[in-house]
Amino acid sequence: MHGRRSRFLTVMITLGLAFFYIPMILLVVYSFNYSKLVPVWGGWSTRWYKVLFASEEVWGAVSLSLKIALVNASFATIFGLLAALSMVRFGQFRGRTLFGGMLVAPLVMPEVITGLSLLVLFITLRQVFGWPENRGFATITIAHITFSMAYVAVTIQARLTGMGQSLEEAASDLGAKPFKVLTAITIPRLMPALVSGWLLAFTLSLDDLVIASFVTGPGATTLPILIFSRIRLGLRPDINALATIIILVVAVCIAIAALIMFRQQKRDLLDQQLAKHVK
Amino acid sequence: MNEQTKSVNRTSAEPRSLLPSRVGRQIQKHWRLIVITIPFVWLLLFFLLPFFIVAKISVAELKIASPPFSNMFEWTDGGIVTVRIVFDNFIYIMTDNLYFDTYLNSVKIAAVSTFFCLLFGYPIAYGIVRSGPLAKPIFLFLVILPFWTSFLLRVYAWMGLLSDQGTINSILIALGIINEPIQMLYTEFAVYIGIVYTYMPFMILPLYANLEKLDGSLNEAAADLGSRPTNTFFKVTLPLTMPGVIAGSLLVFIPATGEYVIPDLLGGGNVQMIGRVLYNEFSRNTDWPVASAVALTMLFLLVLPIIVFQYYQGKSTGGK
Amino acid sequence: MIEKSNVDDTTWHTDDKTKPLVQIKGLTKKFGDVIAVDNVDLDIYQGELFCLLGGSGCGKSTLLRMLAGFEYPEAGTISIDGMDMSNVPAYERPTNMMFQSYALFPHMTVEKNIAFGLQQDVMPKDEIADRVHDILKLVELEGYKKRRPQQLSGGQRQRVALARSLVKEPKLLLLDEPLAALDKKLRKQTQFELANIQEQVGVTFIVVTHDQEEAMTLSSRMAVMDAGRFKQIGTPTEIYEFPESRFVADFIGSANIFEGRVSEDGSDHVRVSTNVGEVYINHGQSVAENKQIWVGLRPEKIHLSITPPKNTGPNQIMGQVEDIGYLGETSIYKVRLQNGQIVDVTAPNQRRPMNRTHSITWEDTVFLSWEPESVMLLTS
Report residue B126 CA to chain centroid gap.
Answer: 23
What pLDDT score does C219 carry?
A: 92
Chain B interface mutation, best of C31, C62, C97, highest count of B Cβ atoms under 10 Å: C97
Looking at every residue in chain B, the average pLDDT score rounds to 80
pLDDT, one tens digit per residue, over A193-226 is: 888 889 889 888 988 999 999 999 888 899 999 9
**Any residues with CB less than 8 A from the CB of A250 and at least 6 apart, and which?**
A203, B145, B148, B149, B150
Q: Is the pLDDT of residue A16 over 60?
A: yes
Residues B47, A102: C-beta atoms closer than 8 Å: yes
Weakest-pLDDT range from B75-79, B279-283, C95-99:
B75-79
Domains of chain C plus CATH, in order, are 4-246 (3.40.50.300), 254-378 (2.40.50.140)
In a domain, residue A116? The reply is: yes
The verdict on B33 and B147 lying in the same domain is no
What pLDDT score does A36 carry?
A: 67
Domain total for chain A? 1
Could you say which of B59, B83, B107 is where a domain stops?
B83
What pLDDT score does B64 carry?
A: 55
Integer angstrom CA distances of residue A38 from A20, B157, B164: 20, 11, 12
Contact A48, A31 (CB under 8 A): yes
What interface predicted TM-score (ipTM) does this complex get?
0.80
The verdict on B103 and B186 lying in the same domain is yes
In a domain, residue A4? The reply is: no
The verdict on B60 and B157 lying in the same domain is no
In a domain, residue A18? The reply is: no
What pLDDT score does A144 carry?
A: 95
The verdict on B75 and B136 lying in the same domain is no
Q: Which chains touch B (3 or more CB pairs under 8 A)?
A: A, C
Minimal Cα–Cα distance from B217 to chain C, Å? 6
Q: Is the pLDDT of residue B85 over 70?
A: no
Q: Is the pLDDT of residue B313 over 60?
A: yes
Helix, strand or coil, per DSSP, at residue B82: strand
The verdict on B112 and B258 lying in the same domain is yes
pLDDT grade, residue B13 (50/70/90)? very low
Chain A within 8 Å of B230 (Cβ-Cβ)?
no
Weakest-pLDDT range from A243-247, B249-253, C317-321:
A243-247
In a domain, residue B271? The reply is: yes
Chain A interface mutation, best of B138, B150, B218, highest count of A Cβ atoms under 10 Å: B150
In a domain, residue A28? The reply is: no
User: What is the full DSSP assignment across B146-157?
Assistant: HHHS-HHHHHHH
Residue C326 has φ and ψ, to the nearest 5°, of -95, 120
Domain total for chain B? 2
Query: In CATH, what number is assigned to the domain containing residue B203?
Result: 1.10.3720.10
Rg of chain A over all Cα atoms, to the nearest angstrom: 23
Residues B152, A40: C-beta atoms closer than 8 Å: no
Contact C321, C334 (CB under 8 A): yes
Please choose, from the candidates A256, A257, A228, A255, the residue with its C-alpha nearest in 3D space to the C-alpha of residue A242: A228
Residue B76 has φ and ψ, to the nearest 5°, of -95, 175
**Any residues with CB less than 8 A from the CB of C7 and at least 6 apart, and which?**
C235, C237, C238, C241, C242
In a domain, residue A72? The reply is: yes
The verdict on B32 and B115 lying in the same domain is no
In a domain, residue A224? The reply is: yes
How many angstroms separate the first and last alpha carbons of chain B? 12
Weakest-pLDDT range from B64-68, B279-283, C77-81, C286-290:
B64-68
The verdict on B208 and B239 lying in the same domain is yes
Residues A118, B258: C-beta atoms closer than 8 Å: no
Q: Which of the residues in chain C have pLDDT under 50?
A: 1-14
Please choose, from the candidates B279, B255, B276, B237, the residue with its C-alpha nearest in 3D space to the C-alpha of residue B200: B255
In a domain, residue B185? The reply is: yes
Helix, strand or coil, per DSSP, at residue C363: coil
Residues A79, B141: C-beta atoms closer than 8 Å: no
pLDDT, one tens digit per residue, over B165-217 is: 788 888 888 888 888 888 888 889 999 999 999 999 999 999 998 998 888 89
pLDDT grade, residue B151 (50/70/90)? confident
Q: Is the pLDDT of residue B16 over 60?
A: no
Q: Is the pLDDT of residue B19 over 90?
A: no
- Domain span holding position A192: 56-278
Cα–Cα dist C105/A53, whole Å: 61
The verdict on B220 and B266 lying in the same domain is yes
In a domain, residue B2? The reply is: no
Which strand (E) or helix (H) includes residue C273? strand C270-274
pLDDT, one tens digit per residue, over A225-241 is: 999 988 887 777 888 88
**Any residues with CB less than 8 A from the CB of C51 and at least 6 apart, and which?**
C206, C207, C208, C209, C214, C215, C218, C219, C221, C222, C223
Cα–Cα dist B210/A2, whole Å: 13
In a domain, residue B165? The reply is: yes
In a domain, residue A12? The reply is: no
Cα–Cα dist A228/B262, whole Å: 11
Weakest-pLDDT range from A134-148, B91-105, C199-213, C329-343:
B91-105
Contact B49, A120 (CB under 8 A): no
In a domain, residue B39? The reply is: yes
Chain B interface mutation, best of C66, C85, C107, C118, highest count of B Cβ atoms under 10 Å: C107
The verdict on B169 and B200 lying in the same domain is yes
pLDDT grade, residue A33 (50/70/90)? confident
**Any residues with CB less than 8 A from the CB of B139 and at least 6 apart, and which?**
A13, A17, B127, B128, B131
- Domain span holding position B56: 21-83
What pLDDT score does C149 carry?
A: 92
pLDDT grade, residue A25 (50/70/90)? confident
In a domain, residue A47? The reply is: no
What pLDDT score does C17 carry?
A: 57
The verdict on B102 and B206 lying in the same domain is yes
Q: How many CB atoms lie within 10 A of CB B26?
A: 13
Residues B35, A27: C-beta atoms closer than 8 Å: no
Cα–Cα dist C161/C106, whole Å: 12
Contact C287, C328 (CB under 8 A): no
pLDDT, one tens digit per residue, over C151-175 is: 999 889 999 999 999 999 898 999 9
Global pTM reads 0.77
Residue of chain A whose alpha carbon sits nearest to that of B15: A177
Q: Which strands form C95-98's sheet, in the order they lie side by side? A: C95-98, C172-176, C204-209, C49-54, C221-226, C229-234
Chain B within 8 Å of C109 (Cβ-Cβ)?
no
Please choose, from the candidates B117, B137, B263, the residue with its C-alpha nearest in 3D space to the C-alpha of residue B201: B117
Query: In CATH, what number is assigned to the domain containing residue A113?
Result: 1.10.3720.10
Looking at every residue in chain C, the average pLDDT score rounds to 87
The verdict on B42 and B140 lying in the same domain is no
Contact C132, C167 (CB under 8 A): yes
